[in-house]
Structure 1
């Protein structure tokens, strides 16, 4: 009889852990999707700050989920007209000044995007925080005055990622993604992301200022600010084509 009771208790504990894992995964997914929507059209400004200089890039972006995105550079004049396209696991860059289409290989997804502290992967999100990682609730902490869950993300075995782990802080009530830390294979902190300036954007309240900060560089960061944005708009997959890269304005 005791063995039966013990077996039932073990099964219940196992089920409880499984349910918690699903809930944490859903929390990460919803916080991530809150920033993207099922589809979106956005205006962004990106300011790259260094110790002795800074520069700002203005851009437009369209996306469907995690698989399709297109970004058009509005300014500065030197880069104006450049377009970046992502379809599933492939990415291209159209450079109108030399009329050249460049396919960006997976090996370059972690390279700096336009000299910023964001990578190609950060901008087009080749990897999925929900699908490519396991999730574990570590603690409850405060960030920027919000009560948050601190969540550990560990990549699955075949995930196309380079981070050995990510820590995320998501507000408990609002599901705002407020901070993330990225660690390399040696479990050394490489960079961290701070999301702030929460405002109403279209139909949702969300952070509108993203700062990506290298852990080992002083006086260096990149600031991405949301401008006018529409979520869940009608967009077709055919919009995200190599041909459209040359036509988009």
Structure 2
């Protein structure tokens, strides 16, 4: 009888753990597909407001989950602005004042250059793999694609922007198609929807990401991938504070 009870108790413990691992694996596959070992992209970002629209062009490079560099190409006023992430540290180079500013964690939740993306969204200070616990919620359909609906809750000591993140990831091609971002009180803040699925860098991925704030009617930011190249060798030294003023 004791053996049966032990096996039953062990079953109760191991099943939720197995599903948590599975949910994390799905998120990992989607994350790795979108990033590769390295990536280099040219991107157009449109900030849309009820009375005006602003367009920005950027280049972005990544290496794994720890290294990211973003260079603003246009408009002329912001040309040359650079954001650099190395592990948990983020710097911002502002050429107009020739200053390299190390960004404190408190700034990660703020708007990135007036868009509806946060600084954290763009440079990913928080790791969606290491800073959150993952669990399956349901199966959902997004734009006729069957998706895993996965909840991400921050680990107790993780320094993250969001109190909860809910993702819909395509079950067949492991593409992140829909993401909801909540604050610590469980209030929906932003929703990102990904469309225009096409071959980018030899992989099937969404070329359009639309971020919509929940409480600002008529506001949204659209991110459009113009080009994307994966797995080109990039040395770690490319992602350093010495290079931040020289990158083109």
Q: Which TM-score band (shorter chain)? A: over 0.9
After TM superposition, give the deviation of residue 228 of structure 1 in Å. 1.1
Mark the runs of 5 or more structure 2 residues left unpaired by the alignment. none
**Corresponding position of 2:122:** 123
Aligned to 2:234: 235
Find the counterpart in structure 2 of residue 101 from structure 1.
100
Give TM-score, length-normalised by structure 1: 0.96
Q: How does 1:191-230 map to 2 (within 5 A)?
A: 191-230=190-229
Deviation for aligned residue 1:157: 0.4
2:169 aligned residue: 170
- Could you tell me how far apart the structure 2 residues matched to 1:4 and 1:133 are? 35
What SS class does the counterpart of residue 237 from structure 2 fall into? helix
What CA deviation, in whole Å up to 9, does each residue of 1:111-153 have, x standing for no partner?
1111000011100001111111111111111111111111111
- Residue 82 of structure 2 is matched in structure 1 by 83
Per-residue CA distance 1:63-117 (angstroms, 9 max, x = gap)? 1111111111111111111111111111111122222222211110111111000
Helix, strand or coil for the counterpart of 1:248?
A: coil
Task: Give the structure-2-normalised TM-score.
Answer: 0.97
Separation in 2, partners of 1:162, 1:244 = 28
Moved >6 Å (runs of 4+)? none
CA RMSD of aligned residues (A): 1.1
Please report how far the alpha carbon of residue 204 of structure 1 lies from its aligned counterpart in structure 2 after TM superposition: 1.0
SS at match of 1:22: helix
Q: Distance in 2 between matches of 1:12 and 1:188?
A: 35
In the TM superposition, what is the alpha-carbon distance from 1:16 to its structure 2 partner?
Answer: 2.4
Q: What's the CA shift for 1:181? A: 0.6
Q: Distance in 2 between matches of 1:16 and 1:99?
A: 55
Could you say which residue in structure 1 is the equivalent of 2:73?
74
Q: CA deviation at 1:46?
A: 0.4
Deviations 1:167-213 (A, max 9, x none): 11111111111111111111111111101111111121111111111
Q: Are 1:66 and 1:126, in contact at CA under 8 Å, matched by a contact in 2?
A: no
